[in-house]
Each structure stands twice: as C-alpha cells, then as structure tokens.
Chains A and B, each alone.
Chain A
C-alpha cells in the first residue's frame, strides 16, 4: 500500500530539547512538505522540498530545520528556538512533474512540549 508514514503519532518533550519528527513516503513523489496546524488557524507551511538535497523555507520556518537526503524521507527537527512548538504537524507529498498538483497527507504527529 502506497502512502505517507509519520511517526510517532504522539510525542512529548520538555522545553529546551530538540525533537525530530519522521516523515516517509513510498509514493515516489518528488516534492514533500511540512505544515503546522493550530486550532482555528488552518495549515501553515514550515518547509518544502521539490527535489532531493534541496529545500525552501515556508511561511513559518523560524525554529525549525529539515533535511532531504533521500527521496522517500523528509524529517523535521523542532529546535529549542521555536517559541511555541506544541502543535499538530502534518507531512505531505506531491508529484508536480506529472501535472499532479494535489498534495497527499500523512496521519500527523501531535507534539506537546511542557
């Protein structure tokens, strides 16, 4: 079954700790994305990557970092510099090179920082 996997489903961390969220896809998609979702605010783009070894900042990149060393994987690190990291994080992928601009989403990771 093709799809996007995010792990873990729930993650708890103490303030001041960096934490890495996993995102893996087996759809052979070129582009991958990270969004943050807060109640009543919709989805906000953190980072995106259109090809391996390249990525761009989205609208709220401060306090986050990413890497794209493999086509299938796009991990997101939430650093201690992120002022309010508690949120629901969603990973997505798409295949724009084939004229398919819709994004497919993973199940999400809910991060709680106390």
Chain B
C-alpha cells in the first residue's frame, strides 16, 4: 500500500524567498509521484510529475521537484516565491504497475507575504 506524508500543513514565506514544500512517500514498489496545486474553490492542477528517468523534474510556474529514492522524498521547490503562488499544494503517489488509484497527502497551504 502507498501513503504520503506532507510535513507542515501551513508554510509561510516572504515574496522572493525560496519555497520548499516537503513530501515523503511510502511504497512497496517503484512509485509515480505528482504535485498538484489548488486555488480556493477550484479543482486541482498538475504542477509536475515523476514517472521514470531523470530524478529532477521541472514543472509549470517555475516549480521543480527531486525524486530521492534513498530518502523516499519528493520535495517541491521554487527559487523565488511570487504572490500568485499562494495556494494549497498536494503531493500524490501511485504504484507503478498497480491500480490507477492516486493516494494524496493532506496538503500544505502556502502563504506568501509581501
């Protein structure tokens, strides 16, 4: 079975500062990993995904994430926060070759201060 832990339900940064949102996963088989963003009262939008190959994955809006198998982590980063990055972020895992069910973390709400 898969599971996801997002450390920190709320993260606050200043505009222009580094954004780091943490995600650790548990999976008995190689995983596919995803980060999604959700703005208030909207659906989820895919930011980036890791399937196979390069472990550093670049996504939309300047975000990137690195798959570290030894640490079972997939942390999301952005070098310089913008006010428009304020949203809730969800990490999700799926087992390779398994069912299509995604398992989501509980989310991290990012606040960007001017």
Contacts of B104 in A (CB 8 A): 42-43
Contacts of B102 in A (CB 8 A): 45, 103
Instruction: Say yes or no for A64: interface residue by CB 8 A criterion.
Output: no
Contact of B100 among A4, A31, A40, A110 (CB under 8 A): A31
Interface members, chain B 42-86 (any A CB < 8 Å)? 42-46, 49, 51
**10 closest residue pairs by CB, A with B:** A105-B43, A42-B106, A105-B44, A43-B104, A42-B104, A107-B43, A96-B100, A108-B43, A101-B32, A102-B46
- Taking A106-B43, A107-B42 as known contacts, 10 extra A-B pairs with beta carbons closer than 8 A to each other, sorted by chain A number, are A4-B43, A42-B104, A42-B107, A45-B101, A48-B100, A92-B44, A99-B51, A101-B32, A101-B100, A103-B102
One digit per residue, 1 when the CB lies within 8 angstroms of any chain B CB and 0 when it does not, for chain A 37-62 equals 00011110100101000000010000
Asked if B44 and A90 sit within 8 Å, CB to CB, the answer is: yes
Closest to A43 in B: B104
Interchain Cβ contacts under 8 Å between A and B, 17 examples: A4-B43, A41-B106, A42-B104, A42-B105, A42-B107, A43-B104, A48-B101, A58-B101, A94-B100, A102-B34, A102-B49, A103-B46, A103-B102, A105-B44, A105-B45, A106-B43, A108-B41
Closest to A3 in B: B43
Contacts of B44 in A (CB 8 A): 43, 90, 92, 105
One digit per residue, 1 when the CB lies within 8 angstroms of any chain A CB and 0 when it does not, for chain B 90-114 equals 1000100000111011110000000
One digit per residue, 1 when the CB lies within 8 angstroms of any chain B CB and 0 when it does not, for chain A 13-29 equals 00000000000000000
Q: Give the total of B residues in contact with A, Cβ under 8 Å.
A: 21
Instruction: Say yes or no for B9: interface residue by CB 8 A criterion.
Output: yes
A45 to B42, CA, bound (A): 17
A50 to B99, CA, bound (A): 9
Instruction: Give, as a whole number of angstroms, the nearest-CB distance from B20 to chain A.
Output: 20
Contact of B42 among A42, A43, A108 (CB under 8 A): A108
Contacts of B32 in A (CB 8 A): 101
A92 to B104, CA, bound (A): 13
Which of A31, A50, A102 has the most chain B CB atoms inside 10 A of its CB? A102
Contacts of A40 in B (CB 8 A): 9, 106-107
